[in-house]
Amino acid sequence: MSISSLVATFLELANLSLAGNQLGSFSDLNALSPTTGRGGIMNGCLSGLTSLRKLILMGNLLRPHVKKDGQMGLHNYLFEVVRRFPSLEVRDGEVIDAAMEGTIVATVAAAPNRSQSMVEEEMMAKPLDTLSPQPPLPIGI
């Protein structure tokens, strides 16, 4: 099954693990996203995984930048995931901080064409509690 066929087959999918699937770019997720790529508004309706609450991306090429780039890498990773899946509550077994998610979603909605670096600069200027490790949640997928 291709990644894009998940949307048509599982319209109400809430939990998804793509761990260890060699995803090398955030654009690989666009077919699943209700906000980017082939997801989005089609015929007046949202397409993409609009009900997605839990997403696991560990073991993909997307994640090494988080460790290598430190706080900025974490901000970039979180930004890219949340802007593609604003309904997410849990990413890689960690609860997404509601304030951070709200900032990302509001910023993208207010200025969808703003560069990511401008958004990151705003996010970096604010203190974040989301960087402290959180215990993983049990996820039944």
Quick one: what percent of the chain has pLDDT higher than 90?
20
pLDDT in tens, 19-59: 998 898 888 898 899 887 555 555 445 678 999 999 999 99
Tell me the CATH architecture of domain 5-121: Alpha-Beta Horseshoe (3.80)
3-state class (DSSP) for residue 94: strand
Amino acid sitting at position 5: S
Residues in the chain: 141
Domain boundaries, the chain: 5-121
Are 1 and 9 in contact by the 8 Å Cβ rule? The answer is: yes
User: Considering the entire predicted model, what is its pTM?
Assistant: 0.68
β-strand 90-91 against 94-95: which pairing, if any?
antiparallel
> What are the two backbone dihedrals, phi and then psi, of residue 87, each rounded to the nearest 5 degrees?
-85, -5
